Amino acid sequence: MNRKINVSIYNECQHEHEVDAVRAIYPQGIHGAIRGFLEKDGAIGTIRCATLQDHRETLSQAVLDDTDVLVWWGHIKHHEVDDKVAAAVAGRVIDGMGLVVLHSGHGSKPFQLLLGTDTYNLRWREAGEKVRLWTIAKNHPISQGLGETFVVPHDETYGEPFGIPQPDELIFLSWFQGGEVFRSGCTWRRGEGKIFYLQNGHETFPIYHQREIQQIITNAVKWACPVARSCPRDRGGPNAAALEAYTLEDGGGFTPVTRG
């Protein structure tokens, strides 16, 4: 692809304001950390950041229209995201924009709009347990540069059953110290758009500073990028005239229908 990938990063950015320990790990916010490693990649072009506080402006339709891939981190304030912005995000995904949803973003409005899920759809525990990820799809663009398995030293535990529609592809499967397993890296397609969900990233651990996690998110941005930035779908199911006229003989006995 000739053009560079335009990325927008939405981060709720509440914990960074309210909790010293989180601010110590992410002094520039979780979005700042994600921006920090994405901007080192030569394939990435413009990176824009949005937070809950400013998302009505920073995720405007004009910004979304100029975004190839949107990365989303949210947790306790999903309900405060403007319904119109959430609908615009979902609409852009249908039209081809990529969406990379992180950690508790499974409860976000765009994720739920696109996948038909609800917030309370998994087991969870904040115990700082070790998690081991296994690469299930070794030949997938999102798993390139990763080994067969790696460990995140501490994360929030998420466990099955995870109330998602069956993923199109399962890229990573995780095992947690407390015994749970979880489908931690999943893809779906909705309309023209690609969606990737990654479980890792509880705000009290430096997970977005870990090389493997950075590699996964960078790979996912590249995978989710559409060939054409703008590819609006025909909405409304137009009544379409035939491209070529045909005769009774061509039609094998069917009577041609004239649309008017």
Q: Which residues bind Zn ion (CB under 5 A)?
A: 104, 156, 202
Q: Rank residues 156 and 180 by Cβ distance to Zn ion and give the closer one.
A: 156
What is the rounded distance in angstroms from the CA atom of residue 188 to the CA atom of residue 183? 13
Q: Rank residues 106 and 222 by Cβ distance to Zn ion and give the closer one.
A: 106
Q: Rank residues 104 and 117 by Cβ distance to Zn ion and give the closer one.
A: 104
Burial class (CB in 10 A: 0-12, 13-18, 19+), 144: middle
Q: How far is the CB of 202 from Zn ion (least distance, A)?
A: 4
Q: How far is the CB of 211 from Zn ion (least distance, A)?
A: 21
Q: How far is the CB of 116 from Zn ion (least distance, A)?
A: 22
- Ranked by CB distance to Zn ion, the top (closest) residue is 202
Q: Rank residues 55 and 106 by Cβ distance to Zn ion and give the closer one.
A: 106
Query: Residue 31 half-sphere exposure, CB side, CA atoms within 13 Å?
Result: 22
Residue type, position 12, single letter: E
3-state secondary structure of 69: strand
How do strand 5-11 and strand 181-190 relate by DSSP bridges? unpaired
Q: Rank residues 68 and 156 by Cβ distance to Zn ion and give the closer one.
A: 156
223 C-beta neighbours (distance < 10 Å), count? 19
Q: How far is the CB of 150 from Zn ion (least distance, A)?
A: 20
The residue behind tokens 């692809």 is: 1
Q: How far is the CB of 126 from Zn ion (least distance, A)?
A: 7
What is the rounded distance in angstroms from the CA atom of residue 26 to the CA atom of residue 223? 26
Q: How far is the CB of 103 from Zn ion (least distance, A)?
A: 6
Which candidate, 88, 68, 111, 74, places its Cα nearest to that of 197?
111
Q: Rank residues 51 and 104 by Cβ distance to Zn ion and give the closer one.
A: 104
Q: Rank residues 6 and 104 by Cβ distance to Zn ion and give the closer one.
A: 104
Which candidate, 207, 217, 201, places its Cα nearest to that of 143?
217
Are 150 and 132 spatial neighbours (Cβ–Cβ below 8 Å)? yes
Q: How far is the CB of 22 from Zn ion (least distance, A)?
A: 11
What is the rounded distance in angstroms from the CA atom of residue 217 to the CA atom of residue 36? 12
Total length of the chain: 260
